[in-house]
Amino acid sequence: MRVLGIDPGLRRLGWGIIDMQGSRLRHVANGVCESDSADDLATRLLSLHRQLSAVFERYAPQLAAIEQTFVNKDAVGTLKLGQARGVALLVPAQFGLPVGEYAPNKVKKTVVGVGHADKGQIDHMVRMQLPRVEIAGPDAADALAIAICHAHHVGAQTMKIRA
Protein backbone atom coordinates (compact mmCIF):
# COMPACT_ATOMS: atom_id res chain seq x y z
CA MET A 1 0.00 0.00 0.00
CA ARG A 2 1.23 3.48 -0.83
CA VAL A 3 0.67 5.96 2.00
CA LEU A 4 0.74 9.76 1.74
CA GLY A 5 1.25 11.88 4.86
CA ILE A 6 0.41 15.58 4.79
CA ASP A 7 1.62 18.25 7.21
CA PRO A 8 -0.74 21.15 6.47
CA GLY A 9 0.47 24.72 6.27
CA LEU A 10 -0.41 27.80 4.23
CA ARG A 11 3.18 28.85 3.53
CA ARG A 12 4.70 25.35 3.45
CA LEU A 13 2.59 22.20 3.15
CA GLY A 14 4.77 19.14 3.68
CA TRP A 15 4.09 15.80 2.01
CA GLY A 16 5.72 12.42 2.26
CA ILE A 17 5.01 9.10 0.56
CA ILE A 18 5.98 5.65 1.75
CA ASP A 19 5.21 2.14 0.58
CA MET A 20 4.03 -0.30 3.22
CA GLN A 21 4.39 -4.04 2.72
CA GLY A 22 3.44 -5.86 5.89
CA SER A 23 5.54 -4.23 8.60
CA ARG A 24 8.18 -3.04 6.10
CA LEU A 25 8.25 0.62 5.10
CA ARG A 26 10.07 2.11 2.13
CA HIS A 27 10.51 5.77 1.26
CA VAL A 28 9.06 6.80 -2.12
CA ALA A 29 9.22 10.61 -2.18
CA ASN A 30 8.77 13.73 -0.09
CA GLY A 31 8.60 17.45 -0.61
CA VAL A 32 6.96 20.74 0.19
CA CYS A 33 4.19 22.64 -1.59
CA GLU A 34 4.80 26.35 -1.13
CA SER A 35 2.59 29.38 -1.60
CA ASP A 36 3.69 32.97 -2.10
CA SER A 37 2.79 35.17 0.87
CA ALA A 38 2.52 38.15 -1.51
CA ASP A 39 -0.52 36.51 -3.18
CA ASP A 40 -4.07 36.80 -1.90
CA LEU A 41 -5.44 33.91 0.17
CA ALA A 42 -7.55 32.39 -2.62
CA THR A 43 -4.57 32.31 -4.99
CA ARG A 44 -2.39 30.71 -2.31
CA LEU A 45 -4.97 28.00 -1.60
CA LEU A 46 -5.37 27.32 -5.33
CA SER A 47 -1.60 27.00 -5.67
CA LEU A 48 -1.45 24.45 -2.82
CA HIS A 49 -4.36 22.55 -4.39
CA ARG A 50 -2.63 22.34 -7.75
CA GLN A 51 0.72 21.29 -6.28
CA LEU A 52 -0.80 18.62 -4.03
CA SER A 53 -2.96 17.33 -6.90
CA ALA A 54 0.21 16.93 -8.97
CA VAL A 55 1.72 14.81 -6.17
CA PHE A 56 -1.37 12.56 -6.32
CA GLU A 57 -1.22 12.29 -10.08
CA ARG A 58 2.47 11.41 -10.06
CA TYR A 59 2.61 8.96 -7.14
CA ALA A 60 -0.97 7.55 -6.93
CA PRO A 61 -1.17 7.01 -3.15
CA GLN A 62 -3.76 4.52 -1.89
CA LEU A 63 -4.01 5.86 1.67
CA ALA A 64 -3.74 9.39 3.03
CA ALA A 65 -3.31 10.89 6.48
CA ILE A 66 -3.09 14.41 7.84
CA GLU A 67 -2.14 16.00 11.11
CA GLN A 68 -5.02 17.49 13.09
CA THR A 69 -4.96 21.22 13.64
CA PHE A 70 -4.11 22.58 17.03
CA VAL A 71 -5.49 25.92 18.16
CA ASN A 72 -2.87 28.45 19.12
CA LYS A 73 -3.01 31.97 20.56
CA ASP A 74 -3.12 33.60 17.13
CA ALA A 75 -6.71 33.21 15.92
CA VAL A 76 -5.95 34.57 12.43
CA GLY A 77 -3.02 32.16 12.03
CA THR A 78 -5.17 29.26 13.22
CA LEU A 79 -7.89 30.17 10.72
CA LYS A 80 -5.41 30.33 7.83
CA LEU A 81 -3.92 26.99 8.86
CA GLY A 82 -7.45 25.57 8.91
CA GLN A 83 -8.04 26.79 5.37
CA ALA A 84 -4.81 25.15 4.16
CA ARG A 85 -5.86 22.02 6.03
CA GLY A 86 -9.14 22.15 4.08
CA VAL A 87 -7.17 21.93 0.84
CA ALA A 88 -5.14 19.05 2.29
CA LEU A 89 -8.40 17.19 3.07
CA LEU A 90 -10.06 18.08 -0.24
CA VAL A 91 -7.38 16.75 -2.59
CA PRO A 92 -7.37 13.16 -1.26
CA ALA A 93 -11.18 13.21 -1.31
CA GLN A 94 -11.10 14.28 -4.96
CA PHE A 95 -8.96 11.21 -5.66
CA GLY A 96 -11.41 8.97 -3.79
CA LEU A 97 -9.34 8.38 -0.66
CA PRO A 98 -10.49 8.52 2.94
CA VAL A 99 -8.17 10.54 5.15
CA GLY A 100 -6.82 9.40 8.50
CA GLU A 101 -6.38 12.19 11.01
CA TYR A 102 -3.88 12.14 13.86
CA ALA A 103 -3.15 14.50 16.72
CA PRO A 104 0.45 15.77 16.72
CA ASN A 105 1.17 13.94 20.00
CA LYS A 106 -0.12 10.66 18.52
CA VAL A 107 2.24 11.01 15.54
CA LYS A 108 5.19 11.79 17.82
CA LYS A 109 4.36 8.92 20.20
CA THR A 110 4.10 6.47 17.29
CA VAL A 111 7.28 7.54 15.50
CA VAL A 112 9.54 8.70 18.33
CA GLY A 113 8.06 6.94 21.35
CA VAL A 114 7.20 10.12 23.27
CA GLY A 115 4.34 12.54 22.63
CA HIS A 116 6.33 15.72 23.12
CA ALA A 117 9.26 15.11 20.77
CA ASP A 118 10.88 18.05 19.01
CA LYS A 119 11.42 18.40 15.26
CA GLY A 120 15.01 17.15 15.52
CA GLN A 121 13.87 13.93 17.20
CA ILE A 122 11.17 13.41 14.56
CA ASP A 123 13.67 13.93 11.74
CA HIS A 124 16.10 11.48 13.38
CA MET A 125 13.51 8.73 13.85
CA VAL A 126 12.14 9.16 10.33
CA ARG A 127 15.69 8.69 9.04
CA MET A 128 16.08 5.58 11.22
CA GLN A 129 12.86 4.04 9.88
CA LEU A 130 13.51 5.05 6.26
CA PRO A 131 17.25 4.45 5.69
CA ARG A 132 19.03 6.62 3.09
CA VAL A 133 16.08 9.03 2.86
CA GLU A 134 16.83 12.58 1.76
CA ILE A 135 14.30 14.84 3.46
CA ALA A 136 13.22 18.09 1.81
CA GLY A 137 12.95 19.92 5.16
CA PRO A 138 11.16 19.87 8.51
CA ASP A 139 7.67 20.01 6.96
CA ALA A 140 8.46 17.01 4.76
CA ALA A 141 9.92 15.15 7.76
CA ASP A 142 6.69 15.78 9.67
CA ALA A 143 4.67 14.55 6.68
CA LEU A 144 6.74 11.36 6.48
CA ALA A 145 6.16 10.87 10.23
CA ILE A 146 2.41 11.21 9.64
CA ALA A 147 2.61 8.61 6.85
CA ILE A 148 4.58 6.26 9.13
CA CYS A 149 2.03 6.77 11.91
CA HIS A 150 -0.84 5.95 9.54
CA ALA A 151 0.97 2.89 8.19
CA HIS A 152 1.45 1.56 11.74
CA HIS A 153 -2.19 2.13 12.66
CA VAL A 154 -3.58 0.74 9.40
CA GLY A 155 -1.22 -2.24 9.73
CA ALA A 156 -2.44 -2.87 13.29
CA GLN A 157 -6.07 -2.72 12.12
CA THR A 158 -5.32 -5.15 9.29
CA MET A 159 -3.72 -7.59 11.73
CA LYS A 160 -6.81 -7.40 14.00
CA ILE A 161 -9.09 -8.17 11.05
CA ARG A 162 -7.01 -11.21 10.05
CA ALA A 163 -6.95 -12.60 13.62
Binding residues are 7, 67, 139
Distant-in-sequence, close-in-space partners of 38: CB < 8 Å, separation ≥ 6: none
- Mark whether 40 is an active-site residue: no
Exactly one of 34, 40, 67, 142 is catalytic; name it. 67
CA angle 111, 117, 122 (to 5 degrees): 50
- Mark whether 139 is an active-site residue: yes
Would you say the C-alpha torsion 90, 95, 101, 106 has a positive or negative sign? Answer: negative
Which residues are annotated as part of the binding site for Mg(2+)? 7, 67, 139
Q: Which is nearest to 64 in space by CA: 100, 31, 34, 28?
A: 100
Exactly one of 7, 19, 39, 134 is catalytic; name it. 7
- Mark whether 101 is an active-site residue: no
Determine which helix (DSSP H) or strand (DSSP E) holds 56, and give its type and residue range.
helix 41-59
Q: Does residue 137 contact residue 13 with C-beta atoms inside 8 Å? A: no
Q: Does residue 105 contact residue 116 with C-beta atoms inside 8 Å? A: yes
Q: Does residue 140 contact residue 32 with C-beta atoms inside 8 Å? A: yes
Which positions are catalytic? 7, 67, 139
